[in-house]
């Protein structure tokens, strides 16, 4: 059976049906994920890989911590992916009807004014609300690691394309400061924000062995 296993997602989801619109379901948590590519050539993989870091992490957190969710996950060619989280439906019952009828049920469940300009929304008790996501740059601007010889401070972090992240760093050493940029695969940092200091230090130690001794910095 075809399965959906996403990074940081605690449960595997089983393929239920669909071709251009694939449906995946986990019976234990009663969550349903519907991939809704808005162009003929876009695949489900491109939909979830095309989601920005903070939006992806928020969605995965919702799926890991809540039951009875329906996720409509979509993408337009040339842009990052969008999604809507439906909180008050019955995913197990929706599976009994056709995909077209599921989309009608999702549409009819929204009683409030639609938010077509919002990329990430949730529907609770019939009201569609914009999901406010903190910028990763803002979150990481305050991250730091105090170490034996110095302090690591994350300055900014931003996506380069969809699979590479650019990190500006500043390491305060006894002999001064070391600043620069580093490019790290996105998969390396998912769910590991508290380890970014170590990741950067270890990478730098390979390039600047005469400046940084990871044994001194990492305890």
> What are 1-23's pLDDT values in tens digits?
799 999 889 999 999 998 889 99
pTM of the entire predicted model = 0.63
Q: Helix, strand, or coil here: 39?
A: coil
Amino acid 38: pLDDT: 84
Share of the chain above pLDDT 70, in %: 61
8 A C-beta contact, residue 165 and residue 189 = yes
CA distance 199 to 158: 16
CA distance 152 to 201: 8
8 A C-beta contact, residue 188 and residue 147 = no
Lowest average pLDDT, out of 17-21, 106-110, 128-132, 202-206, goes to: 202-206
CA distance 205 to 21: 46
> What are 63-104's pLDDT values in tens digits?
999 999 999 999 887 788 899 999 999 999 999 999 999 999
Beta bridge partners of residue 84, listed in sequence order: 72, 121
Share of the chain above pLDDT 90, in %: 42
Cβ neighbours of 33 (radius 10 Å): 26
Max Cα distance, the chain (Å): 67
pLDDT at position 215 over 50: no
> What are the contacts of 169-178 at 24+ separation with CB within 8 A?
169/200, 171/200, 171/201, 171/204, 171/212, 171/217, 173/149, 173/211, 173/212, 174/149, 174/150, 178/204, 178/208, 178/211, 178/212
């Amino acid at each position: 059976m075809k399965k959906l296993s996403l990074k940081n997602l605690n449960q595997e989801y089983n393929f239920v049906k669909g071709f251009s619109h694939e449906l995946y379901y986990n019976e234990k948590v009663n969550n349903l994920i519907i991939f809704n590519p808005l162009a003929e050539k876009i695949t489900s993989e491109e939909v979830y890989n095309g989601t920005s870091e903070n939006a992806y992490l928020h969605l995965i957190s919702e799926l890991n911590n809540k039951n009875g969710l329906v996720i409509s996950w979509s993408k337009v060619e040339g842009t990052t992916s969008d999604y809507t989280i439906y909180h008050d439906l019955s995913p197990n019952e929706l599976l009994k009807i056709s995909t077209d009828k599921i989309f009608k049920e999702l549409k009819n469940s929204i009683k409030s004014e639609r938010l077509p300009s919002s990329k990430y929304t949730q529907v609770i008790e019939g009201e569609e609300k914009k999901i406010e996501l903190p910028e990763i740059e803002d979150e990481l601007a305050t991250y730091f690691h105090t170490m034996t010889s110095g302090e690591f401070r994350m300055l900014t972090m931003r996506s380069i394309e969809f699979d590479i992240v650019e990190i500006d760093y500043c390491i305060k050493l006894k002999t001064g400061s070391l600043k620069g940029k580093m490019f790290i695969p996105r998969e390396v940092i998912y769910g590991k924000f508290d380890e970014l200091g170590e990741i950067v230090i270890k990478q730098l130690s390979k390039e600047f062995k005469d400046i940084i001794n990871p044994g001194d910095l990492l305890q």
